Structure 1
Amino acid sequence: MKLSIDDFCIRCQLCETLYPDLFRLDVENDVIMTKVADVPENLMDDAKNAIKDCAVTAIRFTK
């Protein structure tokens, strides 16, 4: 599974703060990026929590 961040992300950086193994802020382009192409099994719970914790529900799983 992959994580996708929709364009309506407000870049509050909550996901990056709570789940630094999955997300990072690209300062140059002012966007939140995923750090992994495919979510490894050991980070799957963090990915699910990030989806729930997103302030604007901009994070989702994609195939």
Structure 2
Amino acid sequence: MEHTQRPCHVVDGATLAPLLAEAGAARGETRWQAEGHRVRLVVRPLLPHERTCAELD
């Protein structure tokens, strides 16, 4: 499987609760889309030494 992009978004504050609600209600057959493309959603907390997406690589 080819991965052409790996966008990253750090979410906190007011946008965190709705995201967790949607992700928590998701099932194996849930399909996520962003800008017309099917995507895989990976939700995880940042580790103590991580503050931005640049620190994930």
Bin of the TM-score, shorter chain as denominator length: 0.3 to 0.5
Structure with the bigger RCO (C-alpha within 8 Å, sep 6+) is 1
Q: Which has the larger radius of gyration?
A: 2
TM-score, scaled to structure 2: 0.34
TM-score, scaled to structure 1: 0.32
